[in-house]
C-alpha cells in the first residue's frame, strides 16, 4: 500500500500517510525534478484530516519565501513561446490558486478542527505572501494581499452557520496593526444594505466585538507598528495607520447594521457591541437616539443596555430626555435580580441620581422602592441596595426623615404585611408614589436578618451617617461567592486531623503500621 502511494499517479482512494506526505514535500522543495509531487499531494486532499493542510502550508510558505512564484511583468511586442521557467512559474501559481480554493472550502464546510487548521494555514500563507509578493509592487513599499483577506472574511461571515469559534481564532491576528486595519477596510464591502440572514448578523457582530479600533492619541506614531503581519524590514514605505479611514469604515458598516430587523437575542448582542466597541467611534452618536429610546421600552437586559447608551448620550452629547428617571424607576422590579446585567443598572442609577439638585420627592421614591426590593432580593444584592440607599441619604439630608416615619405615617407590622404604608409600589410615576409620606421600615427590619453581614450593614440607619459616599463600583465587584466565603470563614474553624503534618510519601514517626512494614521488608 505504501509503495502504491509513492507512485506519481496515486489515486485519491490510496491515502498517503503523514510520513509519506512530508517526504514528498521535502523532495519537491529540494529539486524541481520532483515537481509532480505537488500534484500527488493535492490529489490526496482529504477533508477529514489535517495532514495534507499542514504539508501544503509547509511547502508554499517555503516557496513564497524563496520567491519561486515571483513573475516580472514584461511588455512583449511579438508573440513568442513562453520560456520553460515562465511555464513552471505559471503552473506553480495555478496550483497555488487551486490550493487557496480548497483551503477556503475547508473553512466553510469541514468539521471544526479542520476549519481551525485551514484558517490558520490561510493566515500564514497570506502573511508570507504579503512579505514576498508574487508580482512587483512598484514604489508602494509595504504590501498587504487584500485579495486573500477578503475571501477569508467572507468565509467567517457565513450566512448559514455560527462561526464564533473561527472568529475567536481569527482574533489572534488583531495584535498586528496592519491586519486589523485592512480587516476594517474590507468590512464595508462585505456588509449588505438589505436584510441578511440571522447567522450572518450574528457572525458580523461577533467579529466587530473582537476587533478593537485604537483611539487616536497625540503620540500615535510609527514606533507602534514594528510588529506587522505582512511588513518587512526592507520596506521603503512602511505601513501607516489611517485612523480616519478606519473610523469611516466602521461608520459605513454600522449604518447598514442599524437598518436590519433583529431578534431579541441579536438585539441584545448588537447593544453590547455598540456600547463596548462602536459608540465612541461614531461620527454622529446622537443619531442613535430613536433606536435607544425604542430599545429602552423592551424588558430585561435589552432595556438595561439601552439605558447605558442613553446615559452616554445624556452625559457626553447633551441629549435631553425628560422621562429618563421615570423609565429608570420602572426598571427596578424583582425580576432585575435574575438578569446578567443588574450590576450595570445599580452603577448607572447611582450615576444618574448623583446630582444634589434633583427633586427630593423623586429621590425619596427611588430610596423607598429600593428598600422595598430588599424584602425579595438575594443577600449579595441587599448589601448593594443598602449602600445605594445610604448614598441617597447622604446627598439629600432632607430624606433622613424617612428613617423615622413622618407625622401621620403608619409603620406597618410584620402581621400586616406592609398594609398601612402610604407608599404606592405599583405607581409608575415616582413623583406620585407618596414616598415622602412613608418610612424606610424595610431597612429597619433587616437589622434582624439571619445573615450577620446584612444585619450589620442595615444598622447604618440608626447611626450617624458617614461623611463620604460609599464606593458603588468596588462594592459591585463583590459577588455572592465572596459573601458565602466570608460567612464560611467566620463559622468554620480548622479541625486538627493529625499531630504531625506529613511532608512526603513516608508515614509519620511512631506510626504502628511502619513497624510491620519494616518487619515485612526484612523478610
Q: Which of these, 429, 196, 447, 471, lies nearest to 325 by C-alpha position?
A: 429
Residue 120 pLDDT greater than 90, yes or no: yes
Segment among 207-211, 454-458, 483-487, 514-518 with least mean pLDDT: 483-487
Predicted confidence (pLDDT) per residue in 400-414, tens digit: 888 876 543 455 554
Amino acid 513: pLDDT: 58
Segment among 42-51, 100-109, 185-194 with least mean pLDDT: 42-51
State the average pLDDT over residues 100-109: 93
Residue 180 pLDDT greater than 90, yes or no: yes
Residue 275 pLDDT greater than 80, yes or no: yes
State the average pLDDT over residues 347-369: 90
| Cα atoms found within 13 Å of the Cα of residue 244, Cβ hemisphere only | 0
Predicted confidence (pLDDT) per residue in 40-85, tens digit: 898 888 766 788 899 999 999 999 999 888 877 655 545 667 788 8
Res. 515 pLDDT band, cuts 50 70 90: low
Residue 86 pLDDT greater than 80, yes or no: yes
Amino acid 397: pLDDT: 87
pLDDT > 90 fraction of the chain, expressed in percent and rounded: 37
Res. 116 pLDDT band, cuts 50 70 90: very high
Q: Which of these, 51, 26, 48, 53, lies nearest to 37 by C-alpha position?
A: 26
φ and ψ of 124, to 5 deg? -65, -40
Residue 91 pLDDT greater than 50, yes or no: yes
Neighbours of 50 (CB within 10 A): 20
φ and ψ of 8, to 5 deg? -55, -30
Segment among 36-40, 43-47, 196-200 with least mean pLDDT: 43-47
Predicted confidence (pLDDT) per residue in 296-309, tens digit: 888 788 888 998 89
Residue 1 pLDDT greater than 90, yes or no: no
Q: Which of these, 412, 369, 406, 389, lies nearest to 458 by C-alpha position?
A: 389
Sign of torsion, CA 32 37 43 48? negative
Amino acid 74: pLDDT: 56
Three-state DSSP string of 316-329: HCCCCCCCHHHHHH
Q: How far apart are CA 392 and CA 395, in angstroms?
A: 5
pLDDT > 70 fraction of the chain, expressed in percent and rounded: 78
Segment among 72-86, 97-111, 278-292 with least mean pLDDT: 72-86
* CA distances for 6 relative to 48, 274, 476, 498, angstroms: 21, 56, 66, 67
Amino acid 324: pLDDT: 85
State the average pLDDT over residues 390-396: 90
Q: Hey, what's the cell of 90?
A: 505559471
Q: How far apart are CA 304 and CA 276, in angstroms?
A: 14
Q: Hey, what's the cell of 84?
A: 520553460
Q: How far apart are CA 448 and CA 456, in angstroms?
A: 9
Supply the pTM of this predicted model. 0.78
**Contact status, residue 178 vs residue 144, Cβ threshold 8 Å:** yes
Which residue did the predictor score with more confidence, 365 or 411?
365
Predicted confidence (pLDDT) per residue in 201-213, tens digit: 999 999 999 998 8
State the average pLDDT over residues 3-21: 57
Angle at 431 between CA 427 and CA 433, to 5 degrees: 35
Amino acid 355: pLDDT: 84
Residue 416 pLDDT greater than 60, yes or no: no
Sign of torsion, CA 401 406 409 414? positive
Cα 487 to its chain centre, rounded Å, is 33
| Cα atoms found within 13 Å of the Cα of residue 404, Cβ hemisphere only | 3
State the average pLDDT over residues 375-399: 89
Q: Which helix (H) or strand (E) holds 472?
A: helix 472-476
Amino acid at each position: 500500500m505504501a509503495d502504491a502511494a509513492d507512485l506519481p499517479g496515486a489515486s485519491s482512494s490510496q491515502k498517503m500517510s503523514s510520513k509519506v506526505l512530508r517526504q514528498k514535500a521535502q523532495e519537491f522543495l529540494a529539486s524541481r525534478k520532483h515537481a509532480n509531487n505537488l500534484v500527488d499531494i493535492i490529489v490526496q486532499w482529504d477533508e477529514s484530516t489535517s495532514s495534507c493542510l499542514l504539508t501544503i502550508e509547509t511547502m508554499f510558505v517555503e516557496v513564497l519565501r524563496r520567491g519561486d512564484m515571483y513573475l516580472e511583468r514584461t511588455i512583449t511586442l511579438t508573440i513568442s513561446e513562453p520560456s520553460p521557467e515562465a511555464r513552471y512559474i505559471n503552473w506553480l501559481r495555478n496550483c497555488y490558486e487551486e490550493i487557496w480554493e480548497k483551503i477556503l472550502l475547508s473553512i466553510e464546510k469541514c468539521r471544526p478542527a479542520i476549519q481551525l487548521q485551514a484558517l490558520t494555514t490561510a493566515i500564514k500563507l497570506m502573511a508570507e505572501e504579503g512579505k514576498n509578493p508574487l508580482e512587483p509592487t512598484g514604489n508602494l513599499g509595504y504590501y498587504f494581499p487584500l485579495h486573500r483577506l477578503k475571501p477569508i472574511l467572507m468565509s467567517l461571515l457565513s450566512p448559514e452557520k455560527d462561526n464564533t469559534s473561527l472568529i475567536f481564532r481569527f482574533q489572534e491576528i488583531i495584535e498586528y496593526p496592519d491586519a486589523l486595519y485592512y480587516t476594517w477596510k474590507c468590512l464595508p464591502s462585505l456588509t449588505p444594505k438589505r436584510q441578511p440572514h440571522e447567522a450572518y448578523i450574528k457572525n458580523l457582530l461577533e467579529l466587530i466585538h473582537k476587533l478593537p479600533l485604537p483611539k487616536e492619541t497625540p503620540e500615535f506614531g510609527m514606533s507602534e507598528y514594528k510588529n506587522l503581519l505582512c511588513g518587512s524590514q526592507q520596506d521603503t514605505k512602511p505601513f501607516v495607520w489611517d485612523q480616519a479611514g478606519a473610523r469611516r469604515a466602521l461608520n459605513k458598516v454600522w449604518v447598514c447594521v442599524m437598518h436590519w430587523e433583529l431578534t431579541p437575542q441579536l438585539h441584545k448582542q448588537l447593544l453590547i457591541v455598540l456600547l463596548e466597541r462602536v459608540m465612541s467611534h461614531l461620527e454622529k452618536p446622537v443619531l442613535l437616539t430613536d433606536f435607544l429610546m425604542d430599545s429602552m421600552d423592551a424588558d430585561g437586559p435589552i432595556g438595561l443596555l439601552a439605558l447605558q447608551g442613553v446615559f452616554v448620550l445624556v452625559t457626553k452629547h447633551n441629549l435631553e430626555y425628560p422621562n429618563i428617571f421615570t423609565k429608570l424607576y420602572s426598571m427596578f422590579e424583582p425580576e432585575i435580580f435574575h438578569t446578567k446585567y443588574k450590576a450595570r443598572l445599580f452603577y448607572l442609577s447611582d450615576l444618574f441620581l448623583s446630582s444634589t439638585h434633583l427633586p427630593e420627592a423623586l429621590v425619596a421614591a427611588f430610596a423607598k422602592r429600593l428598600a422595598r426590593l430588599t424584602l425579595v432580593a438575594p443577600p449579595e444584592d441587599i448589601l448593594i441596595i443598602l449602600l445605594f440607599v445610604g448614598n441617597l441619604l447622604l446627598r439629600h439630608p432632607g430624606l433622613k426623615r424617612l428613617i423615622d416615619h413622618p407625622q401621620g405615617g403608619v409603620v406597618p407590622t410584620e402581621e400586616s404585611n406592609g398594609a398601612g404604608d402610604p407608599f404606592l409600589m405599583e405607581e409608575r410615576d415616582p413623583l406620585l408614589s407618596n414616598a415622602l409620606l412613608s418610612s424606610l421600615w424595610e431597612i429597619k427590619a433587616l437589622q434582624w436578618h439571619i445573615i450577620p453581614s446584612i444585619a450589620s450593614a442595615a444598622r447604618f440607619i440608626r447611626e450617624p451617617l458617614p461623611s463620604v459616599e460609599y464606593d458603588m463600583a468596588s462594592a459591585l465587584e463583590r459577588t455572592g461567592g465572596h459573601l458565602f466565603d466570608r460567612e464560611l470563614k467566620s463559622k468554620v474553624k480548622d479541625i486538627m486531623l493529625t499531630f504531625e503534618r506529613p511532608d512526603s510519601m513516608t508515614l509519620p514517626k511512631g506510626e504502628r503500621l511502619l513497624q510491620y512494614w519494616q518487619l515485612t521488608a526484612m523478610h
